[in-house]
A and B are shown apart, each in its own frame.
Chain A
Amino acid sequence: MFSFTVRRLGALIPVLLGMAFIVFMMVRAIPGNPAQLILGQQASKEAVAALTKELGLDQPWYMQFFGYLGGLFSGDLGVSLKTSTPIAEEVWPYLAATIELAIIAMIIAVVIGVNAGIISAWFQNSWFDYIAMIIALIGVSMPIFWLGLMEQYIVAIQWDLLPTTGRDNIRDPVEAITNLYLLDTLLQGRFDQFFEVIRHLILPSIALATIPMAIIARMTRSSMLEVMRSDFIRTARAKGMRMFWVVYKHSFKNALIPVVTVIGLQTGLLLGGAILTETIFGWPGIGTYIYDAINYRDYPVVQSGILVIAFIFVIINLCVDLLYAAIDPRIKYK
């Protein structure tokens, strides 16, 4: 198990190197000179040329790439062209905002998705099954943009139940320590703010949870259906075990592997794919951070931002692999 983990971590290096290279080249394939975009339409040619030079963009690409790699190995993610701030310094608040949102969204997606899938499989072809699967189908194909604005309009404005945007009450903002506001407010003993942060999390996390929830529900259902047809389930029922335990203990545990895989992949996707939700809900997350950087041709931010997400993605998948062994004793890593 230990050596497996070490080997997998070692395998991360070529993956990330490849990733860094691909992103590096892709970013540069977008037409447009960053210096021109930074200085704006009014800028003189001399100013653009001077800035291009200062940013090192007049050098050949391989020089730029190796310079960037060298920085990476010494833990330097580069400096944002737009704000002239080291990325390692400025990325965390954005990342933290997204992580907090993604975790809550994933909790919602997993709790509802898994249970909906289990119950659908348990009562296959019942009205619950049909309705749940229709909702799941709608969920998968739901435009987040529309859903988010509708949530705001109905829940926040018409019903006046929850705030529309942001992470905290603008009139009483949270003082950031770790930038994970749920944690920060608890650390400061500000329970009123803690609840306020939760209230701000509800609408965006539901919007963000919709697609993974639907995917998880469908995956759980099909995986459960397969397991529930097995002989050991029939045996369990034959010996008179209560159906609830048959489903939740025996079947679910055996159906868990594909479900965990999907959950892992979806969590990774949420980190980078929350752009739409973040845009609608004024959420200062990593998605919008990178998206803005693309518009601005802020090469270092795009490169390093994607690299950070890729890193987390790979780590999550490693955790999923390790979880397999915990879930299924037959799986052993050597």
Chain B
Amino acid sequence: MKKTSWIVLICILALSAALAGCGKAKESSTSSGDSKATGGTLIYGRGADSTALDPAITTEGESFIVTEQIFETLVNYKKDNTEIEAGLADTWDVSEDGLTYTFHLREGIKFHDDTDFNAEAVVKNFQRWAQSKNEAKFAYYASMFGGFEGDEGHVIKEVKAQDEHTVVFTLNRPQAPFLKNLAMSMFAIASPTALEKSGDAFTKHPVGTGPFVFKSWKPGDMIEVVKNENYWQDGLPKLDGVKFKVIKDNSARLNSLIKGEIDLMDGLNPSDLGQVEGDSKLQVFERPSMNVGYLGFNTEKAPFDKKEVRQAISHLINKEELIKSFYEGTAEPAKNPMPPSISGYNDDIVDYDFNVDKAKELLKAAGLENGFEMDLWAMPVARPYMPEGQKVAVAIQAALKEVNITANIVTFDWGTYIEKVQAGEAPVYMLGWTGDNGDADNFIYTLLDKDNIGSNNYSRYSNDELHDILIQAQSNPNEAERIDLYKRAQEIIHEEAPWVPIAHSKPLLAGIKEIKEFTPHPTGTQSFIDVTVGE
């Protein structure tokens, strides 16, 4: 390289160093100017990009957090729990037998592309899913509604437009959590015109009725949505727009928040909690738990086919201590297979206390007072419900040593781990679950009913009494009766101890003090419709 070019390069560097100073003042003045003149734009920092903006074809939260702004569902979850309130449907009637749901849609709503929202649009969306038979694409539809049109287990018999603003759903069999299913992000109503026009590209050009309109997507970097000026609710949304910015590393994201480059972030490290609480410009948000992390027993494998052995181990797990050490205190001890935010949670259950003597007695009753050797499968990845799987396994290993149980820790990569646990290869394993629709059925039936052995009932736990209760609860549209049934189910599960429920973790978010009206929803996604940022 010639000397002159060196000089040019040095000059560029010197110039950029000089710019470091002068650009700064401008940045802060423009940003504050922005937020004062208008409703402000919220910048939401997160750890990964969305995979698809068509809510129907995805299953992951980073996509739903965006689609929740662009699309709306027939019914909504309430702001801070999973009870149901009106959405695109203003009111609805349910027939006595729970087989017919009639939705009265709001009038005068338009999709972002000016297509009218009406009964026909709803029908077309449901036809798109039910008639696709595409298990790979619409996996979530199949799992929530028992398959596709024509399948034996399919819940929805027919979706019909009675008139312009009335839709009638006829079911093959009653499904108690039906409304809660409809409120899930993936069953949002998309513009039929846009679906037809864009085809597979719809996922990059999403069109819904929601408070924000899709603007741009820079892959791996940022997604931007802007205010829907023609939104059907007066005065909403309050923000001018939301930008979803990817900053992978949790600490780097926090640095960016402290610096004021972003306004709100998810995935706050529990260890950084103190720093945020000590910063007068920041606030912490705690998302109510909708998950459970647990230690499961394969109830088909000796000696875990004996109730006493499972109960004995339940007495050996010090949940408070595990939460203090490995969840940094941001979780609550679990005593049931579902978190307290779910209606039907049985708070009267008295958890197995941490008691080595009782454990010894129970093992003696099972004829195993001299202990035994077993494999303990440890989760290889961090999940909100189990942030430090390997370390928790070591702690459990040490606890079991007290009663002469030798636990050998076994692990695989995540995909293989799930496959093998599902196949019943693990005698004792660690896993967890994050709820889909906020219904007790989605925890207890999905995870512990005999119907789901080979699928999500990894403990291969089979109990006919429990099965009867769960099936009754599934088809009973009376909420109070369902709650009683689920309370009874939790009593059985507590006594039988197919799992040791460990913790319900509460994910942390942090944001600037100026954020108002932001309520993290247990499902993990929420609309920013009434959030404000700035004065």
Please list the residues of chain A having a beta carbon within 8 angstroms of any beta carbon in chain B: 30-33, 35-37, 39-47, 49-51, 53-54, 82-85, 90, 93-94, 97, 107-108, 111, 148-149, 152-153, 156-157, 160-167, 169-173, 176, 192, 195-196, 198-199, 201-202, 248, 278-282, 284, 288-289, 292, 297
Contacts and interface: CB of A to CB of B under 8 A. Distances in A.
15 contacts: A31-B413, A37-B414, A39-B139, A42-B456, A43-B139, A46-B135, A50-B136, A90-B219, A149-B251, A162-B24, A164-B256, A165-B252, A171-B31, A196-B27, A284-B221
Contacts of A43: 59, 139, 143
Interface residues of B, number: 68
B135 A51 contact: yes
Contacts of B31: 171
Interface in B136-180: 136, 139, 142-143
A297 B414 CA distance: 11
A47 B142 contact: yes
A89 to B, nearest CB: 10
Contacts of A45: 454-455
Contacts of B34: 171
B351 interface: no
A280 B142 CA distance: 39
Contact of A84 (B20, B203, B249): B203
A93 B220 contact: yes
Contact of B16 (A30, A192, A199, A281): A199
B222 A173 contact: yes
A279 to B, nearest CB: 5
A280 B31 CA distance: 24
Interface in B1-58: 3, 6, 9-10, 12-13, 16-17, 19-24, 26-27, 30-31, 34, 41, 43, 48, 51-52
Given A39-B59, A157-B259, 14 more contacts: A31-B412, A39-B136, A41-B418, A43-B139, A84-B203, A93-B221, A108-B13, A111-B10, A161-B21, A165-B253, A166-B256, A170-B43, A279-B249, A292-B48
A165 B143 contact: no
Contacts of A280: 249, 252
B143 A47 contact: yes
A37 B111 CA distance: 33
A171 B436 CA distance: 34
- Give chain A's interface secondary structure class: helix
B259 A163 contact: yes
Contacts of B19: 195, 198-199
Given A47-B136, A82-B51, A284-B219, A111 B59 contact: no
Given A54-B136, A164-B255, A199 B220 contact: no
Interface of B: 3, 6, 9-10, 12-13, 16-17, 19-24, 26-27, 30-31, 34, 41, 43, 48, 51-52, 59-60, 134-136, 139, 142-143, 200, 203-204, 218-222, 224, 243, 245-249, 251-253, 255-256, 258-259, 261-262, 412-416, 418-419, 433, 436, 454-456
Given A30-B413, A152-B255, A167 B139 contact: no
B39 to A, nearest CB: 14
| Highest count of chain B CB atoms <10 Å: which of A94, A199, A288 | A199
A170 B255 contact: no
A70 B142 CA distance: 35
Contacts of A84: 52, 200, 203
B16 A170 contact: no
B255 A199 contact: no
A37 B245 contact: no
B256 A282 contact: yes
A33 B261 contact: no
Nearest to B50: A83
A156 B259 contact: yes
B59 A282 contact: no
B414 A282 contact: no
A149 B24 contact: no
Nearest to B383: A41
Nearest to A89: B219
Contacts of B16: 198-199, 201-202
A266 to B, nearest CB: 15
